[in-house]
Amino acid sequence: MTMDLALVFMAVMGASVLAYVVLDGYDLGVGMLMPAASEEQQSTMVASIGPFWDANETWLVLGIGVLLAAFPKAHGVVMGALYMPVVAMLVGLMLRGVAFELRIKALGWHRELWNWLFWAGSFGASFWQGVMLGRYITGFASGFGYWLFAFVVGASLCGGYVLLGATWLVYKTEGELQRKARAWSRWGLLWVAFGVALVSLATPLVSETVRAKWFDFPRTLWVMVLPLATGVAWLALWRATRYNTPSRRDWLAYVLAVAIFTLAFLGLAYSLFPYVVIDRLTIWEAAAHPSALRAIFVGAAIVVPFIVAYTILSYRIFSGKADKKLYD
Partner 1 sequence: MEDSLLLARAQFGLNIGFHILFPALTIALAWYLAAFRIAYERTRDPRWLATYTMWVKIFALTFAVGVVTGVTMSFQFGTNWPGYMNHVGAIAGPLLSYEVLTAFFLEATFLGIMLFGGKRVPDWLHVLSTILVAIGTTLSAFWILALNSWMHTPTGQVLQDGQWIAGDWMRVIFNPSFPWRFTHMMLASILTGSFVLAGLSAWRLLKANDELARRTLRIGLLTAAICVPVQVWVGDQHGLNTLEHQPAKIAAMEALWHTESGMPLVLFAIPNEKERRNDYAVEVPYAGSLILKHDPHGTVRGLDEFEPDRPPVGPLFFAFRAMVGIGLAMLAVSWIGAWATRRGKVPPRWMLWGLSGFTFAGWAATLCGWVVTEVGRQPWLVTGLLRTKDAVGAASGAELGASITSYAITYSLLFFAYMVVLTHMAGKGAGE
Interface residues with partner 1 (CB under 8 A) are 50-52, 54-55, 57-58, 60-62, 64-70, 72-73, 75-80, 83-84, 86-88, 90-91, 93-95, 97-98, 100-102, 105-106, 288-289, 291-292, 295-296, 299-300, 303-304, 307, 310-311, 314, 317-318, 326
Q: Closer CB to partner 1, residue 154 or residue 188?
A: 154
Q: What distances in angstroms separate CA 314 from CA 27, 53, 93, 320, one per listed residue?
A: 16, 12, 23, 12
Smallest distance from the beta carbon of 257 to partner 1, in angstroms? 22
Q: Closer CB to partner 1, residue 55 or residue 236?
A: 55
Q: Which residues pair with 275 in a beta bridge?
A: 282
Q: Closer CB to partner 1, residue 68 or residue 266?
A: 68
Smallest distance from the beta carbon of 104 to partner 1, in angstroms? 9
Q: How far apart are CA 221 and CA 211, in angstroms?
A: 14
Q: What distances in angstroms separate CA 206 from CA 143, 157, 160, 186, 224, one per listed residue?
A: 12, 19, 22, 30, 20
Smallest distance from the beta carbon of 22 to partner 1, in angstroms? 16
Q: How far apart are CA 36 and CA 50, in angstroms?
A: 19
- 118 neighbors 99 (Cβ within 8 angstroms): yes
Q: Closer CB to partner 1, residue 56 or residue 207?
A: 56
Q: Closer CB to partner 1, residue 104 or residue 229?
A: 104
Is the preceding omega at residue 51 within 30 degrees of 0, hence cis?
no
- 138 neighbors 149 (Cβ within 8 angstroms): yes
Q: Closer CB to partner 1, residue 220 or residue 314?
A: 314
Smallest distance from the beta carbon of 258 to partner 1, in angstroms? 19
Instruction: Calculate Rg over the CA atoms of the chain.
Output: 20
Residue 75 CB neighbour total at 10 angstroms = 20
Q: What distances in angstroms separate CA 17 from CA 265, 302, 311, one per listed residue?
A: 9, 20, 16
Residue 40 CB neighbour total at 10 angstroms = 11
Smallest distance from the beta carbon of 309 to partner 1, in angstroms? 10
Smallest distance from the beta carbon of 301 to partner 1, in angstroms? 10
Q: Is the dihedral of CA 147, 153, 156, 161 positive or negative?
A: negative
Q: Closer CB to partner 1, residue 8 or residue 206?
A: 8
Short-list 197, 200, 162, CA closest to 33: 162
Q: Closer CB to partner 1, residue 186 or residue 280?
A: 280
First to last CA, the chain: 57
Smallest distance from the beta carbon of 47 to partner 1, in angstroms? 8
Smallest distance from the beta carbon of 259 to partner 1, in angstroms? 25
